[in-house]
Structure 1
Amino acid sequence: MQDDTATVTVYSFMERGPGETKMLAVHKAARATILASGGQVLEGTAHKVPVDELDGRGFWCRLATGWGALPAA
């Protein structure tokens, strides 16, 4: 059986904060999204996620569930 779910590779990244040097972002994003916003991709942090899990700006945020799963909505 083939999984037809579209995926995208997302990365952790560094970004510039107002009046600060660089700081680690709390979200992950595709390489193109990071570069377009002036961020720096952190290599070695890549993983694939379903495209429909990205927000409207193209960012992905992992929901911490511990060892369990989120309950069905």
Structure 2
Amino acid sequence: MIEVKIPEDLWTDTTEGALTNWYFESGDRVAPGDLVADIMVAKAVFEIEAPAAGILRRCVQVDDVVKGGDLVATIVAE
């Protein structure tokens, strides 16, 4: 199982952000580099990519508050 986490380097003067969009549903197959989610931090949107291929399992919902290092999804190898 691969963990998909919020990169800690997104945080400068802000300690929180919000997950604003999912591109895939839980149970969908993803490939390395696929855009899986958007995070808004300090009025800027950052894209989160899949680090590996497999089945995506979401751990947070749209509008959930997140911080650097938070787990947002897992990817299970097929």
TM-score by length of 1: 0.25
Asked which structure has the greater CA Rg, the reply is 1
Higher relative contact order (CA 8 A, sep 6+): 2
Q: Which has the higher strand share?
A: 2
TM-score by length of 2: 0.24
